[in-house]
Amino acid sequence: MSPWVLLFFLVVLLSPLAWLVPSRYQRGQMEVRLHARRMGVAMQLSPQEWPHWLPRQPPDPCPQYHRARRRGQVDSWCYWQVEPGQWMNKWREPCSDQALLAELQTLPVDAFKVEASGQMLSVCWGERGADAALQKIVDFIQAKA
């Protein structure tokens, strides 16, 4: 058998292994998620029900960065970022709490949703901007959780 034919068969045999190697984008996502974990914020891919009135539909499932809230916090709220810096609740009313709105406006442009319940505070984020954006999200979560 010719060495070229043997080389061709070897390449065909090993080519599916290339699909197992993560892309540069996937490696970047993994790095951001591990960095968030080291900073004390957990991450999960969670399916979301997005309001129909959002101008751009966020990814589904969306990366959700979250942390448990301190005991005694009973307020619950949920806001979506319609335009950069413009946060609205499910009835399309702007955020009326000026202190919270100021903190929400520090979040990155691709932070789609922020939700607080009695147990958890979460931010649905598109994972763009890596370190600087992650730091803003972690600071917000730590301040409000």
Assigned domain for 39 exists: yes
Assigned domain for 6 exists: no
SS3 sequence, the chain?
A: CCHHHHHHHHHHHHHHHHHHCCCHHHHHHHHHHHHHHHCCCEEEEECCCCCCCCCCCCCCCEEEEEEECCCCCCCCEEEEEEECCEEECCCCCECCCHHHHHHHCCCCCCEEEEEECCCEEEEEECCCCHHHHHHHHHHHHHHHC
More confident residue, 76 or 73: 76
Residue 11 has pLDDT above 90, yes or no: no
Residue 1 has pLDDT above 70, yes or no: no
> What's the number of domains the chain is made of?
1
Assigned domain for 17 exists: no
Residue 30 has pLDDT above 80, yes or no: yes
Mean pLDDT across 25-44 = 91
Assigned domain for 132 exists: yes
For residue 45, give its domain range: 24-144
Assigned domain for 1 exists: no
Assigned domain for 91 exists: yes
> pLDDT of 37-49, one tens digit each?
999 999 999 898 8
Its pTM stands at 0.83
Mean pLDDT of the chain: 89
